[in-house]
Amino acid sequence: MRFLTQVRLLTVGQPMLLPMRADDFFIEQVNAERPGWDMNGDPWTVTTHLDEELLDSLRRQSAAGRDDLEVAIALAQLVHGELESYGTNGQQRLDEQQIGLAIRALSAVLKRLGIELELPYRNFSTFRTFWMRNDCSGSWQARRDLLDERFEPLHHRLMRVEETTLEALANPVSPRAGTGWPFVDEEVKELRRRFQSSTTAQDYRAVGTHCVGVLEALSRTVYDPGRHLREGETIPTPDKSKQRIGRYIEDALAGPEHADLRALTNKAIEFAHHVKHSSTPTRREAGIAADAVILLANILRRIEQEF
């Protein structure tokens, strides 16, 4: 019986601290029963193969402990490099099925970042058909150029997004990772992700939409008709976030001494809607709106603990 020691370089559910590389999508298998060395001094008992389970998981969810952005950067390098190797020196490590899986995983991760990947090929054979159709059958450089047309803009965009992550959105002073309200925390997570990948006015308008999504999740969470509905009123719908959150604030922070906090809540809600409906929102405006609703979520959570 062969005993294999399997080393997974990245797993879903196991955070890693080292910077991610294309090689992290591979697993090393070591034959622990028959150690030995080849003529080059390398352990001949170690084999490497693609971690297909990881790639399949990435199509459905983010890797725990890893940001989708760093996964996308490394995965784009892997897919680009494998296609280039196939089209030039024939030294690719993946087979037909595996490159297809890698491309689908890359598309899914990019989609979570708000980036669409449109490739006119889905595996090695369709890439070959594509380069033949574009008169690149006799030139390795021409095939590299075909790939660069698709992948270089993607690499540059991911680098720009990575640079913008230095513009971190607001974090609460409390040590908690979130509010503890599942629907709110999920909306905040999506808001952070959307802002991270935004580069155009249309993207920033979408950030405004996600801000409103956070507000609606808050309105569903904090508004209780049994406590906040006045006689003769009808229950406002969740999209009436200013009315629902406003009523919660009125009851939790009544009196003139809390007028500033009530006004702060209203202004945060109003500015989020302003960015959502603006024709030319800027990154600064989108960032301010996102910061405001994230802080509002944490303010409401703090009020709820003492209310």
**For residue 3, what pLDDT is reported?**
30
Which residues does 142 contact at the CB level (< 8 Å), separation at least 6?
A: 131, 134, 135, 136
Asked whether the beta carbons of 218 and 241 are under 8 A apart, the reply is: yes
Tell me how far apart the alpha carbons of residues 54 and 65 are, in angstroms, rounded to a whole number: 13
Q: What CATH architecture is 182-306?
A: Up-down Bundle (1.20)
- Letter for the amino acid at 103? I
Q: How much is the pLDDT for 46? A: 65
DSSP secondary structure of 183-220: HHHHHHHHHHHHHHT--SHHHHHHHHHHHHHHHHHHHH
- In the chain, what are the domain boundaries? 4-164, 182-306
Looking at residue 12, what is its pLDDT? 43
The per-residue pLDDT for 234 is 92
Give phi and psi for 156, each to the nearest 5: -65, -40
Q: 201-222 and 182-196 helices cross at what angle (nearest 10)? A: 170
User: How do strand 26-31 and strand 46-50 relate by DSSP bridges?
Assistant: antiparallel
Contact status, residue 46 vs residue 69, Cβ threshold 8 Å: no
Q: What is the pLDDT along the chain (307 residues), one digit of tens a residue?
A: 233 333 344 444 444 345 688 989 999 876 655 555 555 555 556 678 899 999 999 999 988 777 888 899 999 999 999 999 999 999 999 999 999 999 999 999 999 888 989 999 999 999 999 999 999 998 999 999 999 999 999 998 888 877 666 556 666 666 566 788 989 998 998 898 888 878 889 989 999 999 999 999 999 999 999 999 988 889 999 889 999 999 999 888 888 888 888 898 999 999 999 999 999 999 999 999 999 999 999 999 988 776 5
Tokens, residue 196: 């991270």
